[in-house]
A and B are shown apart, each in its own frame.
Chain A
Amino acid sequence: MGVTVVFQWELVDGQTHQQAIQELHGRINNTGAVQEGKFYYESKFYQASDSATTRDFYTLKTSEYPVTVFARVDDSTKDKNSCIQCDSPMESLLVKLREFFTPKRTFEIRGTRFKLADFWIRPGIVTSSGSNKCVTIEIEYTPSYFADDCWPLFSELGSYILNRQIDDKPPTLMENNKQFNPGMMVQQYVEIFSRKATTQANFQQPMKQEQIQAYNTQM
């Protein structure tokens, strides 16, 4: 376990998700990384029946932490890291509570993981109800717990793989010598999922270009 950062791949015009993954694999192979097994992430969005008193949340199961179920409240304050780490009976508990929390959406990421010395690189496609949403690249640097210390390494590797400039500061979540914990990784994924959910909502109601622009500026 070490500092883990999740990046999102920006699709070039006319590029499908599969093509993007192909390109990513090529780039990662060029760095000298080797394939080592598969990985998956599985996330569910639970909506509370009474939104006034209870809040919506995401659960995340992953092959990297096989015995843990993460639960992350869909909070408006993104810097607050309120992640719960639960044992596997959590899911059966949620089945019993389906009156209060209804599972709305499922997100899934599957892919191949690569190992490059101390780095783990996990590129994958985010799918929700059978359709591809976006491409994410997770980079983990196992020896360090502090993103500030190893950010130059991240920016170097990340900018090569993503083929774009990366901020010279780590995400605000991990800044200021905060020790890394798996909750931070969950937080980053949930941010991506919630962003997708909102854009998906937008797609469902086709809007005019101005409306979208207006919406984006509001954001």
Chain B
Amino acid sequence: MQNDVQLAIEGQKECFIQEIALNGQETWIQPMSMSEQFGRATQRIDFGKELQDNNEVEVKKEVEASPTKAEPKENPWDEVRKSIFEALTEVRVLHDVLAVLNHNTNPAPPANPQQQPGQPPQKILQLASISGPASSSTEQLRASSVAAKKKSFLLASKVIKEGAERLERNEKQPDFHQELQYLRQHYRLRRKGEKILGDLSFRTAGSSYPALGEFEVIRDADCSRENCPLKIRLPHELQNMAWLSIKLVRCDINDSLKVDLSKVTKEETVSTYHHVISTKYKQKGYLEELRQAQHSLFTRELFSQLCREVSCYRPIVPIYMIGDHISTQIFPDTKLIIELCRKPFKAGDEMPFDRSSERRWFCLEQHLTKLLREHHAASKSCPAPHPTIATMGMTKKQRIAATKPYNLPRIERMRKTVPMIHKIIEAAKHAELLRRVEEELDSIAKEIAEPNIHIHWPIIQNPVHTSIKVHFSVAGYEMCTKQFGMHSMLLNVGINGCTAIQRDGNIVELGTDTAEMRRVIEGELLSLQVACLAGLVRIIDWTVLSSSKGCLLLAPPSSSQSITGRVSVRTENRKIRVYIEEKTTNSTPSSDLLLDPKWKVLTDNEWREVDWEKLAGANFVGKMDLMLSCLCKAVTDKVHNNP
């Protein structure tokens, strides 16, 4: 028993602690005994509850009585007894009333004993509305019950209607504070003395534009129901709508050298780019106004940033800044104009754009907006120094530059920041080039009926680079080109020109003039037709003696009794020419120098050009198909004659 371990077990605490004295003594509340609990429970019985609907006086009494209930009493059962007595008296009275009523309406109680065999005697209390009494006048009673039900329903509907009306009235009540709360979800507000001021500026997003972007919130005390009790007051310069319009304009080569601006000929706008802030959801009046104000603030910051960059950035092609215009020549015959437009704001007013030459799918304005946002983000978020004692504001690349080590050109490249104006000029160049390419491809596709041209445009675009895939096919003879793989060309549109990567891997550098591209595509189309013919020829059993890009020499099938010799296909002067060698046995003047009979080949045969355009067929390959099969007609005749 020496190994016994003493364990102290404490019972679960059932008492609440009322107080702990300073010496640690706990004063407990003893749990109630059974009788006490029962007494308490009976006190809680609400006898007035049933009567509440009918008699409000009873409720009042109940309210008065309830505080007294909480106190302990000398005789706790007195109240209960009183209530039960009262209830009993009422029941007795009710019973009497009902008995009298019953007696009056029913002079002959047991009228139909078969119908209610187990019906208890008449003395037992029955409520008229609940069940049909055992009386002859059932219909009467039923009618009265329906009437009672109808009445009660009417009452109920009236109550519901009143409630609904009150709710409706409440909703329409304009509430300044509610509006203020709503406004706070969109803009930052603060109190300054008596006024409430809001902030529109992008300072929290990293902007350092000094213009004032504050607005004042005013409470309109005497407003009607429909009007909003919240009014805003914007500073004067923010009451305008402002937006940037980017235009590409056709101009003379020496346009920038012109001194007299009045003599400038009428400019032809090639394309315009607008960034329209979405008006999908019509917002409340003041929010719309604030959004416009904020947008104009942003636009003005953007323009001032561009102006600042123009003044210190010196590219080879000069950039001019006159008033609200920034203009530069991006290509010899094309000018880029960035214009800041202003217009007083009116609610529900659309921005007056010239939409005649608008290009929405490549939005330069949006790109510009994005650039400024990136600029904001860069100025806001500074990379954390690492280690913590290092210089603030260094990127990781700059940090490791010392130990890598990076040499001078590389460090200089790292420090260089490309100004926004430079980026937007590059993007504008690309956009213009892309528009030209698009136009040229469209016109080529319109002019040249066959072969077919399919152009795949990318969904995702880079502001300065786009890759376009151009596929070519001959209708009806797709299988023939398939043998040589897909016949296609890749067009990489860049900033100052584009490159075409042909099927055989050749890279052709194209300038900004799309006529070069046209030439390349036309050449490609011719070579496609010849390649397609080469594929077809193999299927119909002719022999390809030699083939190079755009040239083909064919020999008829050896088994046929072909009426001619070889067929030659060549591309000359951007046209396909077809020649047939004639088998002539006519003795031609033989050469004195080449006496060997094998050289007869050179002098004996005569080539005749075929006007293939006069042949029947949908396209070149179809025509050639027909011609080649006609040339070896002897074979097919033989096949048909000797099955």
Residues of A within 8 A of B (CB): 1, 63-70, 85-88, 182
Residues in A with CB closer than 8 Å to B408 are 63-66
B561 to chain A, nearest CB (A): 65
Residues in A with CB closer than 8 Å to B407 are 1, 64-65, 182
The answer to the question of B459 belonging to the interface, with a C-beta cut-off of 8 Å to chain A, is no
Query: Closest residue of chain B to A2, judged by CB?
Result: B407
The answer to the question of B406 belonging to the interface, with a C-beta cut-off of 8 Å to chain A, is yes
Residues in B with CB closer than 8 Å to A88 are 402
Partner of A85 from B404, B410, B411 at Cβ < 8 Å: B404
Query: Closest residue of chain B to A90, judged by CB?
Result: B402
- Could you show 24 A-B contacts with beta carbons less than 8 Å apart? A1-B406, A1-B410, A64-B408, A65-B405, A65-B406, A65-B407, A65-B408, A66-B408, A66-B411, A67-B401, A67-B402, A67-B405, A67-B406, A68-B401, A68-B403, A68-B405, A68-B406, A69-B402, A85-B403, A85-B405, A86-B402, A86-B403, A87-B402, A182-B405
Residues in A with CB closer than 8 Å to B401 are 67-68
A20 to chain B, nearest CB (A): 26
Residues in B with CB closer than 8 Å to A69 are 402
Complex alpha-carbon distance, A69 and B402, angstroms: 8
A89 to chain B, nearest CB (A): 9
Complex alpha-carbon distance, A172 and B173, angstroms: 93
Complex alpha-carbon distance, A88 and B403, angstroms: 10
Residues in B with CB closer than 8 Å to A68 are 401-403, 405-406
Query: Closest residue of chain A to B404, judged by CB?
Result: A85
Residues in A with CB closer than 8 Å to B411 are 66-67
Most chain B Cβ neighbours within 10 Å, of A65, A67, A69: A67
CB-contacts of B371-419 with A (<8 A): 401-408, 410-411
Complex alpha-carbon distance, A182 and B408, angstroms: 13
Complex alpha-carbon distance, A67 and B406, angstroms: 8
A26 to chain B, nearest CB (A): 26
Residues in B with CB closer than 8 Å to A182 are 405, 407
Residues in A with CB closer than 8 Å to B406 are 1, 65, 67-68
Residues in A with CB closer than 8 Å to B405 are 65, 67-68, 70, 85, 182
Secondary structure class of chain A's binding surface, majority of residues: loop
A69 to chain B, nearest CB (A): 8
Complex alpha-carbon distance, A69 and B410, angstroms: 16
A92 to chain B, nearest CB (A): 13
- Nearest first, the 5 A-B pairs at minimum CB distance are A68-B405, A87-B402, A67-B402, A1-B407, A65-B405
CB-contacts of B23-48 with A (<8 A): none
Complex alpha-carbon distance, A98 and B64, angstroms: 95
Residues in B with CB closer than 8 Å to A1 are 406-407, 410
Residues in B with CB closer than 8 Å to A87 are 402-403
A91 to chain B, nearest CB (A): 12
B179 to chain A, nearest CB (A): 57
Given A85-B402, A88-B402, 11 extra CB contacts under 8 A = A1-B407, A1-B410, A65-B406, A67-B405, A67-B411, A68-B402, A70-B405, A85-B403, A85-B404, A86-B403, A182-B405
Query: Closest residue of chain B to A182, judged by CB?
Result: B405
Residues in A with CB closer than 8 Å to B404 are 85
Complex alpha-carbon distance, A67 and B405, angstroms: 8
Complex alpha-carbon distance, A66 and B404, angstroms: 12
Query: Closest residue of chain A to B390, judged by CB?
Result: A87
Complex alpha-carbon distance, A86 and B404, angstroms: 9
Query: Closest residue of chain B to A67, judged by CB?
Result: B402
Complex alpha-carbon distance, A188 and B401, angstroms: 22
Complex alpha-carbon distance, A201 and B407, angstroms: 34
Complex alpha-carbon distance, A85 and B402, angstroms: 7
Most chain A Cβ neighbours within 10 Å, of B407, B410, B411: B407
B233 to chain A, nearest CB (A): 53
Residues in B with CB closer than 8 Å to A85 are 402-405
B203 to chain A, nearest CB (A): 34
Complex alpha-carbon distance, A54 and B103, angstroms: 129
Residues in A with CB closer than 8 Å to B403 are 68, 85-87
Query: Closest residue of chain B to A39, judged by CB?
Result: B408
B336 to chain A, nearest CB (A): 34
Query: Closest residue of chain A to B412, judged by CB?
Result: A66
Complex alpha-carbon distance, A86 and B402, angstroms: 6
B387 to chain A, nearest CB (A): 11
Query: Closest residue of chain B to A68, judged by CB?
Result: B405
B581 to chain A, nearest CB (A): 55
Complex alpha-carbon distance, A87 and B401, angstroms: 9
A144 to chain B, nearest CB (A): 15
Complex alpha-carbon distance, A66 and B403, angstroms: 11
Query: Closest residue of chain A to B407, judged by CB?
Result: A1
Complex alpha-carbon distance, A182 and B407, angstroms: 9
Residues in B with CB closer than 8 Å to A64 are 407-408
Complex alpha-carbon distance, A66 and B401, angstroms: 9
CB-contacts of B299-330 with A (<8 A): none
Most chain A Cβ neighbours within 10 Å, of B401, B408, B410: B408
Complex alpha-carbon distance, A67 and B404, angstroms: 10
Residues in A with CB closer than 8 Å to B410 are 1
A138 to chain B, nearest CB (A): 13
Most chain A Cβ neighbours within 10 Å, of B403, B405, B406, B410: B405
Most chain A Cβ neighbours within 10 Å, of B402, B403, B404, B411: B402
A141 to chain B, nearest CB (A): 13
Complex alpha-carbon distance, A156 and B411, angstroms: 31
Complex alpha-carbon distance, A63 and B401, angstroms: 14
Residues in B with CB closer than 8 Å to A66 are 408, 411
Complex alpha-carbon distance, A64 and B402, angstroms: 12
Kindly supply a per-residue 1/0 record for chain B positions 254-286, scoring 1 wherever the CB is within 8 Å of any chain A CB and 0 otherwise: 000000000000000000000000000000000
Query: Closest residue of chain B to A140, judged by CB?
Result: B407
Complex alpha-carbon distance, A1 and B405, angstroms: 10
Query: Closest residue of chain B to A84, judged by CB?
Result: B403
A193 to chain B, nearest CB (A): 20
Complex alpha-carbon distance, A88 and B402, angstroms: 8
A18 to chain B, nearest CB (A): 27
B133 to chain A, nearest CB (A): 107
Residues in A with CB closer than 8 Å to B402 are 67-69, 85-88
Complex alpha-carbon distance, A187 and B410, angstroms: 22
B391 to chain A, nearest CB (A): 10
Complex alpha-carbon distance, A64 and B409, angstroms: 8
Kindly supply a per-residue 1/0 record for chain B positions 464-487, scoring 1 wherever the CB is within 8 Å of any chain A CB and 0 otherwise: 000000000000000000000000
Residues in B with CB closer than 8 Å to A67 are 401-402, 405-406, 411
Query: Closest residue of chain B to A70, judged by CB?
Result: B405
Kindly supply a per-residue 1/0 record for chain B positions 320-352, scoring 1 wherever the CB is within 8 Å of any chain A CB and 0 otherwise: 000000000000000000000000000000000
CB-contacts of B579-637 with A (<8 A): none
Complex alpha-carbon distance, A200 and B401, angstroms: 36
Complex alpha-carbon distance, A70 and B407, angstroms: 13
B395 to chain A, nearest CB (A): 13
Residues in B with CB closer than 8 Å to A86 are 402-403
B386 to chain A, nearest CB (A): 13
CB-contacts of B60-91 with A (<8 A): none
